[in-house]
Amino acid sequence: MSNIRPYRKWKPQFDQSVYIDQSAQLIGNIVIDKDSSIWPMVAARGDVNYIRIGQRTNIQDCSVLHVARHTESAPEGFALIIGDDVTVGHGVIIHACTIGNNCLIGMGATILDGAVLEDSTLIAAGSLVPPGKHLAGGHLWRGSPVKKIRPLSSKDYQLIEDSATQYILLKNEYLATP
């Protein structure tokens, strides 16, 4: 596939159960685990550091995933690590951060270098997570910059689970379509 390209010695790696849309662009040091999906026009560039995407995670249309280079002030740079059962909404920018398991990132959100989202974090659409910000799990975060709004409800936890599950079903339909 010409949309899945090497950079230097690294080439994207993924399980056969992963769906990658033909209009998505994956470059370099990227590893995607089982049952995950990459949707139309996603750009993921693992060139100056690496990207890891967990199981059952979906990266929706027009999202941008990138990393940060090794520098004097950040000797290891910042990789991009996304956990299991994560939903990344349409048009999200995720740059050189760590996202735990069972998170939902609303459409149009931006998460910047060195930010850490603990497990079960819900980011409202259009929110900005500043560089280096550490977000406690089990909460809804909203705003620009984000502020802790409230603890997650049982409906919120169900929304996060349902979103991941629905995208597994959808990617399976796409994989089965000739």
pLDDT in the model for residue 74: 81
Total domains in the chain come to 1
Owner of token pair 């900005």? 128
pLDDT in the model for residue 30: 98
At 14, which CATH number? 2.160.10.10
Q: What is the mean pLDDT of each run of 10 residues along the chain (178 residues)?
A: 92 97 98 98 98 98 96 88 98 98 98 98 98 98 98 98 98 94
pLDDT in the model for residue 1: 57
CA atoms of 165 and 160, how far apart (whole Å) = 9
pLDDT in the model for residue 73: 79
Residue 155 φ/ψ, nearest 5 degrees = -65, -40
12: containing domain: 4-176
CA atoms of 123 and 139, how far apart (whole Å) = 9
DSSP letter for each residue of 7-43:
BTTB--EE-TT-EE-TT-EEEEEEEE-TT-EE-TT-E
